[in-house]
Amino acid sequence: MADGNGSAAPSVWSTDLRRGFREVEGKPVFGMLVAADHKRSDEREERLTQATASIPSAIFWFLLATLVITVVALGICMPRRNNRGQLITLTVITALLTTTLCIIRDVDRPFGGMIDVKPTAITETERQATRDFLAHHSAAELPCTADGARRAT
pLDDT at 128: 79
Write down the pLDDT at residue 57.
81
For the entire predicted model, the pTM comes to 0.48
Under a CB-based contact definition with an 8 Å cutoff, are residues 49 and 111 in contact? Answer: no
Between CA 26 and CA 108 the distance in angstroms is 44
CA geometry: angle 73, 78, 81, nearest 5 deg: 155
Q: What DSSP string runs through 41-61?
A: HHHHHHHHHHHS-SS-HHHHH
Q: Where are the domains of the chain?
A: 1-52, 57-108
CA 10 – CA 47 distance, rounded (Å): 13
Q: Cα Rg for the chain, rounded, in angstroms?
A: 26
Per-residue pLDDT, 41: 76
* pLDDT mean values, one per 10 residues, the chain (153 residues): 56 63 66 72 75 79 92 88 90 92 81 69 75 71 72 68
DSSP 83-134: -HHHHHHHHHHHHHHHHHHHHHHHHHSTBSSSSB---HHHHHHHHHHHHHHH
